[in-house]
């Protein structure tokens, strides 16, 4: 089942894979026409009521397949205000080919007539809330008429995020929906057909550009609304926590703090004035620091745990106690991964091992990415956490749903790129579900690497990735 916004991601991914939306609209329109033929006889009067979005566009395509009926096509609104080029091109085609089209300026101009079948293509997955005019009047006319009502994708007035049906929604007899069913369709007193419109499985399996649509920033948001990340790292190493923290800022987090031993805190701060560094006594993380860290962590949206911490026994037992007291989302990387299989925690973990670390955690891997995907899914289910297993093909799984990210290149085997990935994941997990954050982070980190390799070839370094993260997430 796919919500309207999930459908938009899949649709954009299909486009990224070379199947443009206009082609999908052609398939959709064809399947609408087939459904019309299932419910009407040649010569019957069929009225197509099209809105100005792509839902309307599907029905404008369908009209070209309906020559055997007495057809009328009503557009709700002026053709200049059709919202997409592809829908407008299909409207123009009907004009050129002399189809019987009408434009409805406002609700008083709408006449349904007495058709045998009405096609409701007013609004689809792009809407929420009750129907506005003139769609409201047209819906009431369809509901009052004796016509069979066939809705395109969803009955107009179904909220495709929540599945709620507006009070003034179209009461459909039949629905032909595309690619997958949508929330709310199962509860309707209508027959629902799911039409395959040629979206490749890859549009859902692979993380592609369309996944970036999950990121939206509220223009009215305040400092902190877009995420506060705490990186717990450093001690034996200083670069790793700084890379993770800088990457988190570049991935859109509002505030990023690094908690580090006082022996290295100044050095970490020295890498960037954008970071806030909080220090604790000593030269590495130890159980004595956990009380203080647990309080600090509770004030953050996500925790990035591991970069540069080292694998000393007392550090790992501190990591374990910290996770036991944390109930937000924590990205766990590097040496800290070792504690994951045994830890008792309320937190949602996103673990970012490479294949060697995965095996160290007790998981299995394979050279074949399809097989690896299955093994990672099983292991994620075993530990009840989200895994992002790094490789030429990154595998992301929450134990039930598994995605693959194919971006990146061999230049990225340089040190520090994993810290960048952990930081990006931490930032995205402030605003997205863990599995979506991990998938998009893998995509963005790899894309940043692909940008960096263009300029620097195999001489790329992790800081090049940090600079390229914004382009990977937001550039056109
Ligand atoms: N996602 C996909 O893969 C595909 C989608 N297609 C079609 O595209 C549709 C989605 O198209 P769009 O995103 O253009 O959106 P819609 O066609 O669902 O409608 C969007 C328009 O409705 C207006 N609107 C929003 N809320 C309203 C309300 N409460 N009352 C009245 N008007 C309102 C908006 O201003 C917008 O112009 C799908 O339902 C499907 O029919 C197909 O073309 C094929 C592929
Ligand atoms: K519709």
Nearby residues for ligand 2 (ion, Cβ within 5 Å): 120, 151-152, 156
The pLDDT tens digits for 248-303 are 999 999 999 999 999 999 999 999 999 999 999 999 999 999 999 999 999 999 99
Cα–Cα distance, 104 to 75 (Å, whole number): 6
Residues 66 and 171 in one domain: yes
**Region label for 97, one of left (φ > 0), alpha (ψ between -120 and 50) or beta (otherwise):** alpha
In angstroms, the CA 287 to CA 297 distance is 15
Q: Are residues 131 and 252 in the same domain?
A: no
End residue of a domain, out of 178, 205, 232: 205
- Residue 161: the pLDDT is 86
pLDDT at 77: 95
Residue with CA at minimum distance from ligand 1 atom 21: 53
- For residues 64 and 98, state if they share a domain: yes
Final residue belonging to a domain, choices 180, 205, 230: 205
266 and 184, same structural domain?
Answer: no
How many angstroms is it from 2 CA to the middle of ligand 2? 16
CA distance 63 to 48: 8
Mean pLDDT of the chain: 96
DSSP class of 161? T
Atom of ligand 1 nearest to the CA of 129: 29
Nearest CA-CA partner of 385 in 322, 442, 446, 332: 332
Burial class (CB in 10 A: 0-12, 13-18, 19+), 223: exposed
User: Residue 125: nearest ligand to its CA?
Assistant: 1
**Whether residue 183 is found in the same domain as residue 274:** no
Determine if residue 125 is labeled as part of a ligand binding site: yes
Q: Are strands 101-104 and 117-121 parallel, antiparallel or unpaired?
A: unpaired
pLDDT at 222: 86
Residues 165 and 312 in one domain: no
321 and 274 housed in the same domain: yes
Ligand 1 center from residue 121 Cα (angstroms): 9
Range of the domain at 242: 209-474
Cα of 125 vs centre of ligand 1, distance in Å, is: 5
Which pLDDT score, from 0 to 100, does residue 476 have? 83
pLDDT computed for residue 126 by the predictor: 83
Number of domains in the chain: 2
Report the atom number in ligand 1 closest to the C-alpha of 84: 14
Question: Which pLDDT score is estimated for 218?
Answer: 82
Tell me, yes or no, whether 143 and 123 share the same domain: yes
Ligand 1 — pocket residues by CB below 6 A?
7-8, 11, 21, 24-25, 28, 51-58, 83-84, 123-127, 129-132, 135, 152-153, 178, 197
Per-residue pLDDT of 417-447, as tens digits, reads 999 999 999 999 999 999 999 999 999 999 9
| Stated pTM of the model | 0.94
Long-range contacts of 283-288 (CB under 8 A, 24+ apart): 283/235, 284/235, 284/236, 284/309, 284/310, 284/312, 284/314, 284/315, 285/232, 285/235, 285/261, 285/309, 285/314, 285/315, 285/318, 285/319, 286/314, 286/315, 286/318, 287/314, 287/317, 287/318, 287/321
Shared domain for 451 and 403, answered yes or no, is yes
Sequential pLDDT tens for the chain (476 residues)? 899 999 999 999 999 999 999 999 999 999 999 999 999 999 999 999 999 999 999 999 999 999 999 999 999 999 999 999 999 999 999 999 999 999 998 889 999 999 999 999 999 998 778 999 999 999 999 999 999 999 999 999 999 888 999 999 999 999 999 999 999 999 999 999 999 999 999 999 999 999 999 998 788 888 888 899 999 999 999 999 999 999 999 999 999 999 999 999 999 999 999 999 999 999 999 999 999 999 999 999 999 999 999 999 999 999 999 999 999 999 999 999 999 999 999 999 999 999 999 999 999 999 999 999 999 999 999 999 999 999 999 999 999 999 999 999 999 999 999 999 999 999 999 999 999 999 999 999 999 999 999 999 999 999 999 999 999 999 88
Of 139, 171, 205, the domain-final residue:
205
The answer on whether 294 is annotated among ligand-binding residues is no
CA 82 / ligand 1 centre spacing (Å): 11
Q: What ipTM did this prediction achieve?
A: 0.95
Residues 378 and 314 in one domain: yes
Number of H helices, E strands in the chain: 15, 16
| 363 assigned binding-site residue | no
CA of 83 to the centre of ligand 1 (A): 9
The pLDDT value given to residue 361: 96
Determine the pLDDT at residue 300. 97
Structure letter (DSSP) for residue 165: B
pLDDT at 221: 84
Q: What is the pLDDT of residue 330?
A: 98
Atom number, ligand 1, closest to the C-alpha of residue 51: 17
Q: Output the pLDDT for position 471.
A: 97
In terms of domains, do 146 and 18 share one?
Answer: yes
What pLDDT was estimated at residue 179? 97
């Amino acid at each position: 089942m796919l919500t309207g916004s999930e459908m938009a991601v899949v649709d954009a991914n299909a486009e990224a894979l070379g199947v443009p939306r206009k082609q999908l609209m052609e398939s959709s329109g064809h399947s609408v026409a087939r459904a019309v033929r299932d419910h009407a006889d040649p010569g019957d009067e069929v009225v197509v009521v099209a809105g100005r979005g792509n839902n309307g566009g599907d029905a404008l395509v369908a009209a070209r397949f309906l020559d055997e009926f007495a057809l009328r096509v009503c557009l709700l609104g002026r053709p200049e205000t059709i919202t997409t080029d592809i829908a407008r091109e299909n409207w123009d085609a009907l004009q050129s080919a002399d189809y019987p089209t009408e434009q409805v300026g406002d609700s008083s101009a709408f006449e349904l007539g007495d058709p045998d079948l009405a096609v409701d293509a007013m609004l689809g997955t792009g809407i929420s809330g009750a129907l506005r005019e003139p769609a409201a009047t047209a819906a009431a006319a369809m509901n009052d008429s004796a016509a069979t009502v066939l809705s395109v994708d969803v009955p107009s007035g179904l909220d495709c995020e929540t599945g709620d049906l507006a009070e003034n929604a179209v009461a459909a007899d039949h629905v032909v929906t595309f690619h997958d069913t949508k929330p709310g369709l199962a509860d309707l007193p209508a027959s629902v057909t799911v039409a395959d419109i040629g979206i490749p499985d890859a549009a859902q399996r692979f993380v592609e550009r369309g996944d970036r649509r999950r990121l939206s920033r509220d223009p009215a948001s305040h400092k902190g609304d877009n995420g506060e990340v705490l990186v717990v790292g450093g001690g034996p190493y200083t670069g790793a926590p700084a890379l993770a923290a800088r990457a988190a800022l570049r991935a859109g987090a509002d505030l990023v703090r690094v908690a580090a031993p006082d022996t290295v805190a100044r050095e970490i701060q020295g890498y960037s004035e954008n970071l806030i560094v909080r220090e604790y006594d000593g030269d590495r993380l130890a159980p004595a620091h956990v009380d203080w860290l647990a309080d600090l962590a509770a004030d953050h949206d996500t925790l990035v745990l591991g970069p540069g911490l080292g694998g000393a026994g007392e550090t790992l037992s501190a990591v374990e106690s910290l996770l036991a007291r944390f109930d937000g989302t924590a990205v766990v990387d590097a040496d800290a991964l070792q504690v994951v299989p045994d830890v008792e925690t309320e937190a949602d973990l996103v673990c970012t091992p490479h294949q060697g670390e995965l095996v160290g955690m007790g998981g299995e891997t394979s050279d074949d990415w399809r097989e690896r995907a299955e093994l990672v899914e099983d292991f994620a289910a075993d530990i009840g956490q989200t895994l992002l297993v790094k490789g030429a093909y990154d595998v992301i799984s929450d134990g039930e749903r598994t995605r693959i990210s194919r971006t990146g290149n061999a230049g990225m085997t340089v040190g520090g790129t994993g810290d960048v990935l952990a930081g990006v994941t931490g930032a995205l997990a402030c605003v997205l579900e863990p599995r979506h954050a991990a998938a998009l982070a893998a995509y963005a980190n790899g894309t940043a690497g692909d940008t960096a390799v263009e300029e620097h070839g195999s001489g790329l370094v992790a800081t090049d990735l940090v600079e390229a993260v914004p382009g990977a997430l937001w550039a056109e």
